[in-house]
Chain A
Amino acid sequence: MGMRSSFLLVGSYVLSSVVACQQPTVKTLPILGSREPVTEVVDGQTVTDTVYHTIADFRLLNQDSVFIDNRTFDNGVYIANFFFTHCPSICPTMQRNLLKVYEKYKGDERVRFLSHSIDFRYDSPSVLKTYAEKLGVTNDQWQFVTGSKAEIYGLSDSYMVYTKEDAAVPGGYDHSGHFLLVDQSRHIRGAYDGTDEAQLELLFDDLATLLKETRD
């Protein structure tokens, strides 16, 4: 038996054992939010389909004073959160954690980040720009957006995040510090407490899982 054929034999053995060991159970993430069955008649046949909760349409000003909308995130998945630049409570921890994800996926255009400011009075695009630079964000993969109170607070419902203007809390705005993992079809696939390191690890895992089902 020649050298080449023995290589082939060993190679095919290794390959077949790898293939044999791979289980067909591929982990997929759930789609979060409300869902409802919709029954339609298509081509004379009755078809029932499930309509999942979807992120609403938006058009918001980013840190470069440019309008962005849902299509900015069409080429992959994104992680959204709500914050404000002068937030003295949970935001620094939240953004420090999200920065770790950003730094890992920097340059990988399939992963984007969207931080909504809920301080519609103070956080103008220039304030957001300065904030982004100081945080260490150097490309457009991470967008920081501002809009009217109605736009931002309405959108937070769509992301299932609690936001409220409240003079009684430090900073003047109350909000939850969750990260929302959104897929290419605008469905929420995961929600993570942005101030919790264990939840951050879960986000890293889930993000990798979600990317496997992402189309180019």
Chain B
Amino acid sequence: MRNQCLYLSAALLSVYVVFHSCQGEQAIRRAQYTVNGQKVYATHCQNCHGARGEGLGSLYPPLTDSTFLLKHRDQLACVVKYGLAGPVEVNGIPFDTGMPANPALSPIEIAYVLTYIGNSFGNSMDMFTLEEIQTGLAACRSAGAEEE
């Protein structure tokens, strides 16, 4: 009986350790993406969208509208890479300035910057993985090809 108890607690402990280390790994990866993303953000996004994602008047939209970001999660990679031409409504305010493309950004950099934006400024969207970005980019490339 005593041995059984020991085995059981050892098993529980190992499950706990495995679970925790996985979570820890995930958390470390997210932190790494966020830190890298902040650098990308400062270089490519901050001028218009602001250090706190506050935007500027009705010239440049804020990045604090979590509902908008969640709704358009699948398109965000394409917006970052290829820009945005049409009008868009964020936080109830219409914007039509358009956003320039960032053709030089690699998929991993886009994953970094979206992870940063998605988990700052009051947003909590969890991680954008490289796979998610690649899927998103492939979708808008094929959509663009159909239009042509």
Is the pair A134, B97 in contact by a Cβ cutoff of 8 Å?
yes
A85-114 toward B: CB 8 Å interface, digit per residue (1/0)? 000111111011001000000000000000
Smallest Cβ-Cβ distance to B49: which chain A residue:
A92
Is the pair B100, A92 in contact by a Cβ cutoff of 8 Å?
no
In the complex, A99 Cα to B59 Cα: how many Å? 13
Is the pair B47, A131 in contact by a Cβ cutoff of 8 Å?
no
Interface size class of A (residues with CB under 8 A): 10 to 19
Smallest Cβ-Cβ distance to A195: which chain B residue:
B47
In the complex, A107 Cα to B48 Cα: how many Å? 27
When the two chains form the complex, which single residue of A88, A90, A93, A131 contacts B59, counting CB atoms closer than 8 Å? A131
Smallest Cβ-Cβ distance to A96: which chain B residue:
B56
| Complex contacts, A91 vs chain B, CB 8 Å | 47
In the complex, A135 Cα to B97 Cα: how many Å? 12
**Given A131-B59, A134-B58, A136-B57, does the pair A92, B48 have CB atoms closer than 8 Å?**
yes
Is the pair A135, B57 in contact by a Cβ cutoff of 8 Å?
yes
Residue of B48, B50, B56 with highest tally of chain A CB at under 10 A:
B56
Is the pair A134, B47 in contact by a Cβ cutoff of 8 Å?
no
Is the pair B47, A135 in contact by a Cβ cutoff of 8 Å?
no
| Complex contacts, A90 vs chain B, CB 8 Å | 47
| Complex contacts, B46 vs chain A, CB 8 Å | 93
B116 at interface, CB cutoff 8 A:
no
When the two chains form the complex, which single residue of A89, A93, A134 contacts B57, counting CB atoms closer than 8 Å? A134
Q: Which of A58-108 contact B (CB under 8 A)?
A: 88-93, 95-96, 99
- List the count of A-B residue pairs having beta carbons below 8 Å apart: 29
In the complex, A118 Cα to B56 Cα: how many Å? 21
Distance to closest chain A CB from B49 (angstroms): 8
Distance to closest chain B CB from A170 (angstroms): 9
In the complex, A150 Cα to B56 Cα: how many Å? 31
| Complex contacts, A134 vs chain B, CB 8 Å | 57-59, 97
Distance to closest chain A CB from B4 (angstroms): 64
Distance to closest chain B CB from A174 (angstroms): 15
In the complex, A89 Cα to B100 Cα: how many Å? 12
B128 at interface, CB cutoff 8 A:
no
Smallest Cβ-Cβ distance to A90: which chain B residue:
B47
Q: Which of B29-72 contact A (CB under 8 A)?
A: 46-48, 50, 56-60
Is the pair B47, A99 in contact by a Cβ cutoff of 8 Å?
no
Smallest Cβ-Cβ distance to B47: which chain A residue:
A92
| Residues of A that sit less than 8 Å from B by CB | 88-93, 95-96, 99, 131, 133-136
Listed A/B pairs (7) with beta-carbon separation below 8 Å: A88-B100, A89-B47, A90-B47, A91-B47, A92-B60, A93-B46, A99-B57
Closest 7 CB pairs of A and B: A136-B57, A134-B58, A134-B59, A135-B57, A92-B48, A92-B47, A96-B56
| Residues of B that sit less than 8 Å from A by CB | 46-48, 50, 56-60, 97, 100
Given A95-B56, A96-B56, A134-B58: 5 more A-B contacts, CB < 8 Å:
A91-B47, A92-B47, A92-B59, A92-B60, A99-B57
